[in-house]
């Protein structure tokens, strides 16, 4: 240790002792200060790790409790008896075991039995152990271990949950437990034990492997220790250096001014450089903040003012954010949907396979798009074009962004165009093309199922006279009324079509015999013989009908239509206002005159 000389050159050990004491005091205070800060940091790390474990345990407990409540509300559920699933010997219920009409044996699974099976799956899959326990268990295996017994006693004193970090077989584990309260549905199994609604009947303990969390905790502790050690060394060393510099200045009074000037100049330059660096860093921070704010403003503008509905969901498929266009399309306000699954808007038109395919494509490709029917808040159905994009990778998705466009009006317009293409514009009846398609379908069905059908060719008598006397508008009105009367004469499963002009046709599906077709033809003749009261005046017409039957081994559809036409011409030749069934003589007569 250096000794400070006196004016006569004699060492002054008292100053050296004071200096040594100051240095020791500086290091001791620094150790105490940074040691206390390190302990606080470690405590915060431990609390954070415990919070993660508590949240994980609470989530598992809540899931099990919700599943148990569902089971209890349904009075238990029945499953098939197998080697793995045998009747619960601890369940006293008159209908515990049933046998279905087809001989399958079923057994009731109550909440406790279901919890044990879930616990076995969890243990096999992720190493998580679930144990339903009580101080007064029905089943001996549900008795508590010492930790669970202590937790149950703490619940009785008012604690809401218990979390402990311990070790089992040399491995760290977190043990979490929360109480189970008696609900009305629980009394069917536990009523005889003297429980009432609201009592604590036991709890579910969740034992979770803690190796990953303790490793994270140790890593964070080590990082914090290194940071505090570096801060300690820097602070203590700096103070030590200041003390040494001050000591040197005291010892060398004659050189202190020059040294001080040099030190000030050097420190001023360093501070200037540091200030410039700090100013540059502050400018960068301001630029970054400005860019971030501008980016957020652009995102907000796009999100809020987009014409398409936007819905953001989390990894579990629950809605976290929607834009105004979504609210306009669905009728729901944001507060009514945030936190819920979009499933409540389903229309019921898509089966579970549709949604399973959607989820599979999202997992495989990261996106999905297509048409989907949903239901508005008002209850109205609508169709939308929806695109869904996954956020994050397939193994650990962070959420999903969906854009949706209401295409109901476009679909309705397409339906109207399709309808106009297949239907007569005046009467609304199927036109010639749709009639041909239905005739082909009727023929195919008749051949497959072995039944008969009839084709009626219908032509109005004296229709041209109505047009000439009352005008074309009256003729159009008469054709519309004719279509209405024809529809009344047939069944809903039959087809009435307008082929053009005053030509109509009827397909009678699944008839028992020729008499059915003749009866319908008679009704049509009577219906069309009644006067037509038109705006332009009264009009009278009659009708001629030709009937042909199918399927016929010697006739395709075109031949069948020719036969109906020949029978129609024969009815006209016989005096009009009547029907005629096709027979072989008509083919001979036509062939003879051709």
Give yes or no for residue 532 having a pLDDT over 60. yes
Kindly report the CATH class assigned to 23-75+110-215.
Answer: alpha beta
Q: Which of 164-173, 199-208, 275-284, 560-569 has the lowest mean pLDDT?
A: 275-284
The pTM assigned to this predicted structure is 0.38
In this predicted structure, what is the pLDDT of residue 185?
58
Q: What is the pLDDT of residues 145-187, one digit of tens each?
A: 889 889 888 888 888 899 988 888 888 988 999 898 876 556 5
- pLDDT confidence of residue 198: 65
Between 562 and 315, the more confident residue is: 562
**pLDDT tens digits along 101-129:** 887 888 877 777 677 667 666 666 667 88
Sheet-wide strand order for 97-99: 77-80, 105-109, 97-99
Greater confidence (47 vs 296) lies with 47
pLDDT of 310 over the 60 cut: yes
477-500 pLDDT, tens digit each: 999 999 999 999 999 999 999 998
Average pLDDT for 522-546: 94
Burial bucket for residue 202 (CB in 10 Å: 0-12, 13-18, 19+): buried
Pick the CATH number of 423-593 from 3.40.50.1100, 3.40.1360.10, 3.30.70.270, 3.30.70.120: 3.30.70.270
Helix axes 557-573, 432-449, angle to 10 degrees: 110
pLDDT at residue 254, rounded to an integer:
58
Q: Which residues of 448-469 are buried (b: 16+ CB within 10 A; e: fewer)?
A: eeeebbbbbbbbbbebeebbee
Dihedral sign from CA coordinates of 385, 358, 341, 316: negative
Sign of CA dihedral 578, 583, 584, 587: positive
Give the rounded percent of residues in the chain with a pLDDT score beyond 70.
88
Fold of the domain built from segment(s) 306-411: Beta-Lactamase (3.30.450)
What confidence category does residue 7 fall into, taking pLDDT thresholds of 50, 70 and 90? very low
Give pLDDT, residue 167: 86
- State residue 592's pLDDT score: 32
Instruction: Round to whole Å and give the CA distance between 179 and 64.
Output: 12
Least confident of 28-32, 196-200, 352-356, 516-520: 196-200
Chain Cα centroid distance, residue 176: 30
* Sequence ranges of the domains in the chain: 23-75+110-215, 306-411, 423-593
Cβ atoms of 370 and 385 within 8 Å: the answer is: yes
- 10 Å CB burial of residue 225 (0-12, 13-18, 19+) is middle
**What is the tens place of the pLDDT at every residue in 546-571?**
999 988 877 788 999 999 999 999 99
pLDDT exceeding 90 applies to what percent of the chain?
27
- Give pLDDT, residue 594: 25
Half-sphere exposure for 421 (CA within 13 Å, toward CB) = 6
pLDDT at 590: 46
Task: Look at residue 442 in the predicted model and tell me its pLDDT.
Answer: 93
Summarize the confidence of residues 423-438 as an average pLDDT.
92
CB 112 within 8 A of CB 119: no
Indicate whether 395 pLDDT > 70: yes
Mean pLDDT of the chain: 83
Angle, vertex CA 297, rays to CA 294 and CA 299, nearest 5: 110
Q: How do strand 397-406 and strand 309-314 relate by DSSP bridges?
A: antiparallel
Domains 23-75+110-215 and 306-411 share a fold: yes
Is pLDDT at 406 greater than 80 in this prediction?
yes
The segment with the largest mean pLDDT, out of 80-84, 126-130, 511-515, 585-589, is 511-515
Contacts of 197 (CB under 8 A, 6+ apart): 182, 183, 184, 187
The whole-number pLDDT of residue 187 equals 59
Q: Indicate whether 505 pLDDT > 80.
A: yes
pLDDT for res 119: 66
């Amino acid at each position: 240790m250096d000794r400070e000389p006196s004016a006569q050159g004699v060492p002054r050990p008292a100053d050296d002792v004071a200096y040594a004491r100051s240095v020791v005091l500086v290091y001791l205070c620094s150790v105490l200060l940074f040691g206390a800060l390190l302990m606080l940091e470690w405590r915060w790390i431990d609390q954070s790790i415990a919070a993660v474990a508590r949240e994980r345990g609470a989530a598992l407990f809540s899931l099990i409790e919700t599943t148990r409540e569902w089971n209890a509300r349904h009075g238990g559920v029945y499953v098939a008896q197998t080697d793995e699933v045998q009747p619960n010997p601890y369940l006293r219920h008159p209908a515990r075991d049933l046998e279905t009409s087809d001989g399958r044996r079923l057994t009731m699974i109550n909440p406790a039995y279901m919890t044990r099976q879930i616990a076995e799956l969890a243990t096999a899959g992720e190493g998580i152990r679930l144990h339903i326990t009580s101080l007064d268990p029905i089943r001996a295996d549900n008795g508590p271990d010492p930790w669970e017994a202590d937790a149950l006693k703490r619940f009785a004193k008012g604690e809401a949950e218990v979390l402990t970090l311990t070790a089992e077989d040399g491995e760290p584990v977190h043990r979490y437990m929360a109480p189970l309260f008696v609900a009305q549905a629980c009394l069917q199994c536990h009523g005889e034990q003297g429980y009432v609604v609201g009592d604590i009947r036991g709890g579910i303990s969740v034992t979770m492997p803690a190796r990953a969390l303790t490793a994270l905790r140790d890593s964070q502790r080590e990082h914090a220790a290194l940071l505090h050690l570096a801060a300690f060394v820097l602070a203590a060393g700096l103070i030590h250096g200041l003390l040494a510099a001050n000591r040197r200045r005291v010892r060398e009074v004659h050189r202190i001014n020059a040294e001080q000037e040099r030190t000030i100049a050097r420190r001023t330059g360093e501070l200037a450089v540091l200030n410039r660096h700090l100013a540059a860093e502050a400018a960068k921070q301001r630029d970054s903040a400005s860019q971030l704010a501008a980016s957020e403003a652009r995102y907000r503008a796009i999100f809020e003012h987009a014409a398409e509905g936007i819905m953001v969901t989390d990894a579990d498929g629950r809605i976290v954010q929607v834009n105004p266009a979504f609210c306009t399309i669905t009728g729901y306000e944001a507060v009514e949907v945030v936190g819920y699954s979009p499933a409540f808007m389903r229309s019921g038109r898509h089966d579970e396979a549709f949604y399973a395919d959607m989820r599979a494509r999202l997992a495989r490709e990261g996106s999905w798009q297509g048409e989907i029917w949903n239901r508005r808040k008002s209850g109205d159905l609508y169709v939308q074009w929806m695109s869904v994009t996954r956020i994050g990778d397939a193994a650990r998705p962070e959420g999903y962004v969906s854009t949706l466009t209401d295409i109901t009006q476009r679909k309705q317009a397409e339906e109207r165009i399709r309808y106009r293409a297949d239907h007569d514009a005046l009467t609304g009846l199927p036109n010639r093309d749709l009639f041909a398609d239905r005739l082909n379908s009727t023929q195919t069905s008749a051949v497959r199922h072995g039944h008969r059908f009839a084709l009626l060719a219908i032509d109005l008598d004296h229709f041209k006279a109505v047009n000439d006397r009352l005008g074309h508008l009256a003729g159009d009105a008469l054709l519309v009324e004719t279509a209405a009367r024809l529809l009344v004469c047939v069944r809903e499963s039959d087809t009435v079509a307008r082929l053009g002009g005053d030509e109509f046709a009827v397909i009678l599906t699944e008839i028992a015999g020729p008499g059915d077709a003749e009866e319908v033809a008679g009704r049509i003749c009577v219906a069309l013989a009644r006067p037509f009261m038109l705006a332009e005046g009264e009009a009278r017409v009659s009708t001629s009908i030709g009937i042909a039957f199918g399927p016929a081994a010697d006739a395709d559809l075109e031949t069948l239509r020719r036969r109906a036409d020949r029978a129609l011409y024969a009815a006209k030749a016989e005096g009009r206002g009547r029907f005629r069934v096709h027979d072989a003589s008509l083919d001979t007569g036509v062939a003879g005159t051709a």
